[in-house]
Chain A
Amino acid sequence: MVKKVFEKPLSWIERILFIDFIKGLSVTIRHAFSKTITTHYPYEKLTPPKRFRGFFGHKVINGTEPQPGFNEWTERMKIEVIPGKSRCVVCYLCKKACPVPQLFEIDGKKVESGKKVVGVFNMNLMLCTFCGFCVDACPVDCLFQSDIHETASYTRKDAILDLETLERVGKDWQRRRDNEPDRIWIDDRQRERLWYENDVRLPEVKK
């Protein structure tokens, strides 16, 4: 059923004394003297939520891998487990899931023990749409999207993330935010700052 927000004809008193003008003016003056809700961007930055789709990173091996999936995958792909290095098992599932697969450049590398580790992992962000399919596809919770969103660069080459950068982003993320509960806003203060109207209850329109 459609609730009709009606259009009430103005009475003569209201027309002569500009009552509806005054109502509107009182609304704007109240807003004019209340606090501003903006963020002064380059000087002041909001922390994006944990689910934010920003720059990519590789989480490193530190004992918090999803088990038993991680052990199964390392066994199957014959991956050497080196703590402090990328969790990547070179399964190419991210590349398969990607709508623009050529942005991935992945290759394994043999080590002395006969097993292998990830050797090349380049992501060309000039082609990326930040859709996050690769992150969903990753079986070992390695590839992820961080809260870094200032992606501008001076050259096209700077837009390519190599393995080193990805690991750096991942280590940084694991230090800062890995233990945080998964929620849309980092805390209630930041949520209310932008979405304080969530708590406002609109009055019911009477017929």
Chain B
Amino acid sequence: MESVIAGLIIAVIKILVILGVVLGVGAYLTLVERKVAAHIQRRPGPMVVGWHGLLQPLADGLKLMTKEDLFPRYGNRVLYNLALIMALVPATLVFAVIPFGPEFELFGYKIKPILTDVNVGLLLVFGLGSLAVYAIALAGWASNSKYPLIGSMRKAGIIVSYEVAITFAVMGPLILAGTLSTYNIVEAQIEQKLWYVWLQPVAFVVFMFSLLAETGRVPFDIQEAEAELVTGFTVEYGGMKFGLFPLVEWYVEVLSLSAIAVVLFLGGWSPINIPFIGFIDPLFFLGPLSPFVWFILKVTALFLFILWLHWTLPRYRIDQITEIAWKVMLPLALFNLVFTAIIAPVVWR
């Protein structure tokens, strides 16, 4: 009985920590993005609110909260509000299966820094990822307006194309690790002393492309397309409802998919890996904290790389994007999968 209560309390604490960290960090990533974008364009970005604009997200939030909540005439109010929930919930739920570090012991309880170590963790991730398309399709439909509808249709087309590619891309690491549990995939990489990015560079590239497409980042931000569609499906949303969509799509989803990329390809919480030599940990002085720091560092690096791409590349056309998905990415991922499935059992074990 006592262990059940302890387990419950631990789970609640984990949920609160993950929710707080994810949503708080998500809000602050708006500032990071604005700063990165500004410096790439030789501007300083927000500088006035707080030291170097450090309180800008709070000011933005306050502004968004106090704005009028408009609703389009002839829109569907139920679907309109449901779309918000459908966007926020799956995106944050993905963090339930992301391992932040190795198992540790606190007050005699063994705690894994992962909310639920389910044995089909990756399947859950991609199931929830596919749910995101409902939010956008609903948002576009319920707004009863042209631009949102075009935007959401484009987004749906992209997600349908890239879901296939991303699923085939992650099958390479799955074959190598032999498990679907995210925690065990990282442990397998640490045991085998090899990040899977060294073995699966093609899969990694396909995964990165699909990540950009699924989260609507440049060069695949066709559903936003500021110049053509204003901001796509968020046109008819106002106030905090408007703030929530980019928060979810650009920050929470990018964070969760970067974390998945780190788990699958970059060895989760393990330190720097060099093939045939093993792990080198320049942060050994942090002791038991070092794995967590490594995980955060890797996710941050990946996120900054995505931002860097965003403010460098121009936008593709919708037909080019789907063409890349079906004609380049899917055959590459399939080829990679078949190659891995043939070679891995011979060489690997």
Q: List 26 A-B contacts (CB under 8 A).
A: A21-B312, A21-B313, A24-B312, A25-B308, A25-B309, A25-B312, A27-B312, A28-B308, A28-B311, A28-B312, A29-B308, A31-B39, A31-B40, A31-B42, A32-B36, A32-B40, A32-B308, A33-B39, A34-B42, A35-B42, A36-B38, A36-B39, A38-B42, A38-B43, A38-B44, A40-B47
Residues of chain B within 8 A (CB-CB) of A34 are: 42
Interface flag for A202 (CB, 8 Å): no
Interface flag for A37 (CB, 8 Å): yes
A14-29 to B contact mask, C-beta < 8 Å, 1/0:
0000000100110111
Residues of chain A within 8 A (CB-CB) of B40 are: 28, 31-32
B39 to chain A, nearest CB (A): 5
* Cβ-defined partner of B313 (8 Å) among A24, A29, A37, A40: A24
B307-318 to A contact mask, C-beta < 8 Å, 1/0:
011011100000
Residues of chain A within 8 A (CB-CB) of B39 are: 31-33, 36
Interface residues of B (CB under 8 A from A): 36, 38-44, 47, 308-309, 311-313
User: B312 touching A36 by the CB < 8 A rule?
Assistant: no
A108 to chain B, nearest CB (A): 50
Check A36/B308 contact, CB under 8 A, given A21-B313, A24-B313: no
A32-68 to B contact mask, C-beta < 8 Å, 1/0:
1111111010000000000000000000000000000
* Cβ-defined partner of A36 (8 Å) among B44, B309, B311, B313: B44
Residues of chain B within 8 A (CB-CB) of A31 are: 39-42
Residues of chain B within 8 A (CB-CB) of A37 are: 42
Residues of chain B within 8 A (CB-CB) of A35 are: 42
A31 to B44 alpha-carbon distance, docked (Å):
12
Q: Which 5 A-B pairs have the closest CB atoms?
A: A28-B312, A32-B39, A32-B40, A28-B40, A36-B44
A28 to B308 alpha-carbon distance, docked (Å):
8
A31 to B311 alpha-carbon distance, docked (Å):
11
Residues of chain B within 8 A (CB-CB) of A25 are: 308-309, 312
Residues of chain B within 8 A (CB-CB) of A27 are: 312
A164 to B38 alpha-carbon distance, docked (Å):
45
A28 to B304 alpha-carbon distance, docked (Å):
13
B309 to chain A, nearest CB (A): 7
Known: A21-B312, A24-B313. 15 other contacts (CB 8 A): A25-B308, A25-B312, A28-B308, A28-B311, A28-B312, A29-B308, A31-B40, A31-B42, A32-B36, A32-B39, A33-B39, A36-B42, A36-B43, A38-B43, A40-B44
A21 to B42 alpha-carbon distance, docked (Å):
20
Residues of chain A within 8 A (CB-CB) of B313 are: 21, 24
B38 to chain A, nearest CB (A): 8
A36 to chain B, nearest CB (A): 5
A14 to chain B, nearest CB (A): 15
A162 to chain B, nearest CB (A): 36
Residues of chain B within 8 A (CB-CB) of A36 are: 38-39, 42-44
Nearest B residue (CB) for A15:
B328
Residues of chain A within 8 A (CB-CB) of B308 are: 25, 28-29, 32
Residues of chain B within 8 A (CB-CB) of A33 are: 39
Residues of chain A within 8 A (CB-CB) of B309 are: 25
Most buried by B among A27, A31, A32, A36: A32
Residues of chain A within 8 A (CB-CB) of B44 are: 36, 38, 40
Nearest A residue (CB) for B37:
A32
A37 to B41 alpha-carbon distance, docked (Å):
9
A48 to B313 alpha-carbon distance, docked (Å):
35
A28 to B40 alpha-carbon distance, docked (Å):
6
A29 to B311 alpha-carbon distance, docked (Å):
10
Nearest A residue (CB) for B41:
A31
Nearest A residue (CB) for B35:
A32
A38 to B309 alpha-carbon distance, docked (Å):
23
A28 to B311 alpha-carbon distance, docked (Å):
8
A187 to B44 alpha-carbon distance, docked (Å):
24
Nearest A residue (CB) for B311:
A28
A28 to B36 alpha-carbon distance, docked (Å):
10
Nearest B residue (CB) for A24:
B312
A180-197 to B contact mask, C-beta < 8 Å, 1/0:
000000000000000000
Residues of chain A within 8 A (CB-CB) of B47 are: 40
A31 to B47 alpha-carbon distance, docked (Å):
19
A24 to B219 alpha-carbon distance, docked (Å):
13
Most buried by B among A27, A35, A37, A38: A38
B84 to chain A, nearest CB (A): 34
Residues of chain B within 8 A (CB-CB) of A29 are: 308
A195 to chain B, nearest CB (A): 14
A10 to chain B, nearest CB (A): 14
A21 to B39 alpha-carbon distance, docked (Å):
19
Residues of chain B within 8 A (CB-CB) of A40 are: 44, 47
Residues of chain A within 8 A (CB-CB) of B38 are: 36
A25 to B312 alpha-carbon distance, docked (Å):
6
A101 to B46 alpha-carbon distance, docked (Å):
44
Nearest A residue (CB) for B44:
A36
Residues of chain B within 8 A (CB-CB) of A32 are: 36, 39-40, 308
A29 to B312 alpha-carbon distance, docked (Å):
9
Residues of chain A within 8 A (CB-CB) of B312 are: 21, 24-25, 27-28
